[in-house]
Amino acid sequence: MRGLTIYWERCSVCGYHSPVKQCTLFPDLMVDAKCCLLCPKRGVCPKPAWRFEGLVERGVVSPDERRKLLVELLERLEEKQGVPGRRPSRP
């Protein structure tokens, strides 16, 4: 039995073979997610080809809460990866 082969199209901007969608502002271009996100015209684009919704809940978070969450995430990363050169976190 042969393995599954996935053929991706080529991004018109960067040239990499990856999943692409048709650009809204420039219909003759096929863009991957990276090029769509880095596009300088993205701010004026009515409907970007690659949109990421629902990844972050919108809400007001205090700076203290943000700092606490960031420290917690960094500690988890250090535990999993064992980052060298980092001093141990204080209790």
Nearest-5° Cα angle at 57, 60 to 70: 70
pLDDT at residue 38 in the model: 93
pLDDT at residue 51 in the model: 86
State pTM to two decimals. Answer: 0.51
Rounded to the nearest integer, the mean pLDDT of the chain is 82
31 bridge partner residues: 21
For the chain, which ranges sit under pLDDT 50? none
Residue listed under structure tokens 């991004």:
11
The string of DSSP letters for 3-45 reads PP---PPBPTTT--BS--EE-SS-TT-EE-HHHHHT-TTGGG-
pLDDT at residue 79 in the model: 84
Alpha-carbon span 41 to 25, nearest angstrom = 8
pLDDT at residue 44 in the model: 93
9 bridge partner residues: none
